Structure 1
Amino acid sequence: MAQHELKRELENRHVQLIAIGGTIGTGLFLGSGKAIQLAGPSIIFAYLIVGMAIFFVMRALGELLLSKAGYQSFTDIAEDYLGPRAAFVTGWTYWFCWIMTAMADIIAVGIYVQYWFNIPQWIPEIICLIILLGLNLLSVKNFGELEFWFALIKVVTILALIVIGVILLVVGFKTDAGMVTVKNIWGYGGLFPNGITGFLLSFQMVVFAFVGVELVGVSAAETSNPAKNIPSAINKIPLRILFFYVGAIIALLCINPWMELSPTESPFVKTFTLVGIPIAAGIINFVVLTSAASACNSGMFSTSRILYNLGRNNQAPSSFAKLNKNHVPRNGLWISTLVLSVGALLSKLIPEQAFGIVTTISAICFIWVWGVILVCHLKYKKTKPQLHAQSKFKAPFTPFINYAVLTLFAIILIIMLFAEATRPALLLTPLWFILLFVLHYSYKGKREK
């Protein structure tokens, strides 16, 4: 007998670690080197600004999700407040976001495995996809357990970096790059050594560093106690940003003058090498490998749930709405995995260019999704003031903060338009939205029957 409802198997510890895993990824472990080279120490302010903006997006999402028990994800919210077309475009765009992100991460898995084993890149990629598919098909709890352990590895690594940084500061340690001191943060050209231009250009990579934080909202339908677990996870986002991003970046800049960090090398590898840990490269390579696998795992989870909801709402083939005996959307998982495997193989043909284009498009599409959440919250407060008044998890500073964050997102897109590295992807992305608006009409008839 077919199952029709997702199973609530995620416990509080799963949701908390999913939230942590969503805020720590390749954007920090790999992308922070490029961001630091663009902005210098002012990258700290970029992480704070974007991080706080995302927190307000999540507070809006949290209030919306808890306002109606039947919500499975923010695509349902978009349908209620913006109509079926917006839900269709947002749902498929969110699927596209994670497909693009997971493609980059699965390619990264193959590259990282080659550090230890000289085998063709596609072999570990396919093996990783098969393992993640198998585990996700068994039950949603397996996804939670995978993210729990993946996130723990990330947390331990960052904690180790910060602790080492504090110890080196206290003992007055000297590396090949010089003395470990807080003066390294502003001692080489000030906080804005590349001016306001470098600071602004870093925002694209900073935005990409935060993609996935909204996954705690996608998992709302499968947590055992949404009213308790979702607010708890969202309210801890600011502390996690301060600790995992700002804390880690400050530690990096105290140990290394900012210009010593390479845009093509993980600053974590550089730091552990400088402090004299001989197996630093291997340790960090393992951490980055698990981070990439974690991101791909999150991508498979989220894309399958998005397809499930699109199928239920007649915005995708109805077969996507079918669940297996473990209450897992198996068809959505299979399709997403198939697309990922094809995309990963094709991306190997232009690996250097592909990663930059894919990550930029992903960031742009995530800005769309976050923007839709804010707009839905504005309409929710205007059209259903009684629900807002009764809410036990009200988003703060609305509607002012909604408009402020939407303005910030618009400014970031404008910056991408003027930046040579991100302009091609920004100009290509509208083709995706045009395609979706055209395809929507093919499903419009089904919804009206």
Structure 2
Amino acid sequence: MTSNQDQQHELKRTLKSRHLFMISLGGIIGTGLFLGSGYTISQAGPIGAIISYLVGGFIMYLTMLCLGELSVAMPVAGSFQAYTSKFISPALGFTVGWLYWLGWAVTVALELLSSGLLMQRWFPASPVWMWCAVFGVVLFVLNALSAKAFGETEFWFSTVKVSAIILFIILGGAAMFGFISMKGGQAAPLFTHYTTASLLPHGITGLLLTMITVNFSFQGTELIGIAAGESAEPEKTIPRSIRATVWRTLIFFVLAIFVLAGLIPYQQAGVIESPFVVVFDSIGIPFAADIMNFVILTALLSVANSGLYAATRMLWSLSKSDMASPALGRLNKKGVPMNALLLTFAIALLSLLSSVFAKDTVYVWLISLAGLGAQVGWISISASQLAFRKQYLANGGKVADLKFKTPLYPVLPAVALTLNTVVLLSLAFDPEQRVALYCAIPFTIFCLVYFQLRVKGKAVLD
């Protein structure tokens, strides 16, 4: 009887450190790097682009330090939603959880749509919806099998992306310094594109706008916390995964941007489809465009795979706290919350339909909310760490007993909270992203009111 109850209510701890590391990378390395990096270089200039990624990486590092302490002390699926509910406010935890769930569900739809469009390069006569359906079913099945099956798939998806970036840095760097000849007999640029460009070609405004975009491109690292509830030996795997993710992500992103900006003049970087394709082609790699199309396709499917997992576990966490239907908290024999997975997949499919029937209204609103969900999650992580440590000390806990500690408390968590809040508020200064705030405010008000009327008194926070 007990084992059956455990099966119905507890997730299985089958994810290893390598899975956690690649899951977090899977949520980060996507079109933001492979396609959006050209925009960043064109707006901020070569040096400004590197500054943008360093600042974004710094914010990520501080946030992950906060997440590390929380997720090792309380390794639960749902992560920061549970922490926000327990240490700050159940109403805010409810709102953060649903916003984050909706954000990833919509992101799955966006990645499937983008994947279908990429397939048009090789199969121009095929309908986009067919590829959306094929990829969607494959990802659903992988997530339905078990957490280990998802983790293993994500490991190989991310391996392809990381290998492509490492190869790019090696070959691009060799071309930049003249170790590899470029097509057409072009001379090695060395640091020419850095020395001839102005420090900030579009001023401080251009730098700030790219920093918003760059910071969003780092989001996905918080998936380590989401997966904590299914990780084996969380006190060992989570700190190891966080450190590996932060430093390797920074190295991959900054070195890739350094090489890109060194090989492509910033004036041209913003008007090309993918700067990676241009660099591979200029080095003389055959089928450069097709290779990068495959890598970008892998990146998109990887993000969709991670998103489907994250949204499903968030829904499960909400159910465990009685903030969603109890049916969404039921697990199958494999330890997968199938009802939560089915609902998440259904919302993703509805979002796909809205991209056809309500592209300029509903779909735009949903995409805006999708980008906002992770940022709100980061704010809640840093705020929860401050509240957790304060409560922990008040209850007689000793800092020395914590298996993972955020250093320089409360300074670093406070800096993380401040910087993440500034990033959120800075959306108001970007005309293209401002709609996210317009959508988030009524959504937040609705969630808070709904919580007070229908959920308050039933929520379980233990």
Other-structure match for 1:242:
250
The correspondence for 1:429, drawn from 420, 424, 440, is 440
Q: Does structure 1 retain, via aligned residues, the 8 Å contact 2:235–2:403?
A: no
Query: Which ranges in structure 2 are unaligned for 5 or more consecutive residues?
Result: none
Partner of 1:82: 88
2:223 counterpart (209, 212, 215) = 215
Residue by residue over 1:106-150, the C-alpha shift from the partner in whole angstroms, topping out at 9 and shown as x without a partner, is 111111111111211111101111111112111111111111110
Separation of aligned partners in 1, 2:358 and 2:295: 25
CA drift of 1:22 comes to: 2.9
Out of 123, 126, 129, which is 1:119 matched to?
126
Q: Counterpart in 2 of 1:323?
A: 331
Tell me, yes or no, if structure 1 residue 91 matches structure 2 residue 97. Answer: yes
SS of equivalent to 1:114: helix
Matched, 1:142 2:154: no
1:255-404 equivalent positions in 2, closer than 5 A: 255-263=263-271, 265-349=273-357, 360-385=368-393, 386-404=397-415
- Structure 1 length as normaliser, TM-score? 0.94
Could you tell me whether the CA contact under 8 Å between 1:416 and 1:422 is conserved in 2? yes
Deviation at 1:215, TM superposition (A): 0.4
Q: Deviations over 1:395-441 (max 9, x none)?
A: 12221122222222333234321222222232222121112112213
Name the SS of the counterpart of 1:348 in structure 2.
Answer: helix
User: Conserved in 1, the CA contact under 8 Å of 2:143 and 2:149?
Assistant: yes
Query: Which of the numbers 210, 213, 216 marks the counterpart of 1:205?
Result: 213
CA contact (8 A) 1:55 1:237 kept: no
What percent of counterpart residues are identical? 35
Moved more, 281-290 or 399-408: 399-408
How far apart in 2 are the matches of 1:264 and 1:399? 44
- Comparing 409-418 with 86-95, which one deviates more in the overlay? 409-418
> Counterpart amino acid of 2:458?
K
Moved more, 128-137 or 314-323: 128-137
1:251 and 2:262 correspond: no
Q: Compared with structure 1, are the counterparts of its residues 290 and 69 closer, same or farther at alpha carbon in structure 2 (3 Å cutoff)?
A: closer
Cα distance in 1, alignment partners of residues 89 and 434 from structure 2:
31
Distance 1:166 1:315, change over 3 A: same
**Superposed counterparts of 1:180-191, under 5 Å:** 180-191=188-199
Change (3 A) 1:414 1:81: closer
Amino acid paired to 1:203: M
Letter in 1 for 2:446: L
Equivalent residue number for residue 67 of structure 1: 73
Shift of residue 260, structure 1, vs aligned partner: 1.6
Query: For residue 154 of structure 1, what is the aligned residue in structure 2?
Result: 161
The alpha-carbon distance between structure 1 residues 186 and 211, as it changes in their structure 2 partners (threshold 3 A), is same
- The Cα offsets for residues 142-178 of structure 1, whole Å up to 9 and x where unpaired, read as 1111111100100111011111022211437445695
Q: Choose which of 392, 416, 423 in structure 1 pairs with 2:427.
A: 416
For 1:31 and 1:69, how far apart are their aligned partners in 2?
Answer: 34
Question: Aligned pair in 2 of structure 1 residues 238, 299: CA closer, same or farther (>3 Å)?
Answer: closer
In 1, Cα distance between equivalents of 2:42 and 2:367? 18
Residue 51 of structure 1 corresponds to 57
TM-score scaled by length of structure 2: 0.91
**3-state SS of paired residue (2:191):** helix
Alpha-carbon contact 2:107-2:370 (below 8 Å) kept? yes
Q: Residues of 2 paired with 1:243 and 1:353: CA distance? A: 38
Distance 1:412 1:176, change over 3 A: farther
Match of 1:130 among 131, 137, 157: 137
Q: What is the count of residue pairs matched by the alignment? A: 448
